[in-house]
Homo-oligomer: A and B are copies of this chain.
Amino acid sequence: MPPSTRHRRPLASTLQVDIKQVAHEAGVSTATVSRVLSGRGPASDDARRQVLDAANRLDYQPSAFARSLRTDRSMIIGVLVPNLANPVFLPFLRAVEHLAQRHGYAVLVADTQRSAEVERLQLNRLRAQRVDALIMADTPQDRAHVRRLADAGVVVVDPDTFAEGTRWSVSTLEADATREACRHLAGLGHRRVAYLTRGAMSRRRSPDRWRLINATCRSLGIEAVQVRLDRHRTAGAVAAVLEDLLGSDLSPTTVWSNSHLLAPEILRAMADGAVDIPGHCSFLTFGDSPWAAAYRPSISVITSDLAAVAEAMTASVLHRLGATEAPEPPDIEPAVFLARQSTGPPPPEPARESIR
């Protein structure tokens, strides 16, 4: 008995069926079993039958480790998510999982919890797992660590550089819809807009959004202001900020929420403050959901199909991994602005006075 096996799990040999047992059962060599089951290399019909029968009888599952060690391919795709608490990443994750699964790839989730340190640890773990590919749901905090994976031969894709410059890139998708929302507000007669944000959004994309909103609004004669709620985490605090805001010199006629997570908090504050939507103040948000549509008034939203983006990214990755012939044509619907009931004409100026 080899010394190193003495202190292993005693029943290991009987717990997991290995290729030798299948070979024995089928009356062939392990090489033949491997060839038949992996589909690589020749095998007679007879041998094939024997092997498949035996494998089936023994309920054999080849060890992914051993296979990966030998073939230098893990068949694992890592997904880096900035914040698993945010439901918007669910369709993303699901799309990746489904497509990957269909091509024999497993999916390893890594939540960075929006922390650079956790991100580093997670990327190292993914490196240790020798993932074949890395799909990022958002811009990483530190590109250097990601580059290390890329340097190690990992296929990496992120929403920014993916389809850069084409209309498929995430920022491009969103930009058009954002501009349309601004035009919509201008057309209704709004002149003062407050953009409410909280730090949950990626620190990179959020400023881009604000810059775009600000620039577009200005060009349309709308005065826009950004209000950061980072330190206001309770419903009461948000309500206080909102009350100050609506009573201030700015007195915006539209409140624009930066995220789908933030929206219900603002809506609560507005309802508690008896702010009529859209009579006194219009409201819109990034991110859609059945609840936003069910709200009365139904909420106008800017929504992008993150699942479609994820699918396109995954398809691209699978192609670069050689798993698919050609990358599926990206048929991503651009992000859209959906004007629903929560955006309407602003109140006439006298009416606004009476609110104070």
A residues with a Cβ closer than 8 A to B are 8-9, 11-12, 15-16, 59, 61-66, 68-69, 72, 74, 84-85, 87, 90-91, 93-94, 97-98, 101, 106-109, 111, 113, 121-122, 124-125, 127-130, 148, 151-153, 261, 263-265, 267-268, 271, 289-296
Contact = CB atoms under 8 A, between A and B. Distances in A.
A96 to B, nearest CB: 10
A111 B129 contact: no
A62 B127 CA distance: 9
A109 B93 contact: yes
B265 A290 contact: yes
Given A90-B85, A90-B87, A291-B295, A124 B12 contact: no
Contacts of A98: 111, 113
Given A108-B106, A265-B294, A93 B84 contact: yes
B90 A84 contact: yes
Given A65-B69, A261-B290, A291-B264, A84 B108 contact: no
A18 B8 CA distance: 24
Contacts of A151: 15
> What DSSP secondary structure best describes chain A's contact surface?
helix
Contacts of A84: 90, 93-94, 97
16 contacts: A9-B72, A59-B148, A61-B124, A65-B68, A65-B74, A87-B87, A94-B111, A101-B111, A109-B109, A265-B290, A268-B294, A271-B296, A289-B291, A291-B292, A291-B295, A295-B295
Contacts of A295: 291, 294-295
Nearest to A270: B294
Contacts of A290: 261, 264-265
Nearest to A261: B290
Contacts of A261: 290
A61 B127 contact: yes
A267 to B, nearest CB: 4
Nearest to A127: B61
A263 B293 CA distance: 12
A125 B94 CA distance: 17
B63 A69 contact: yes
Contacts of A12: 72, 153
6 smallest CB-CB distances across A and B, nearest first, come from A264-B294, A291-B291, A264-B290, A84-B94, A61-B128, A267-B294
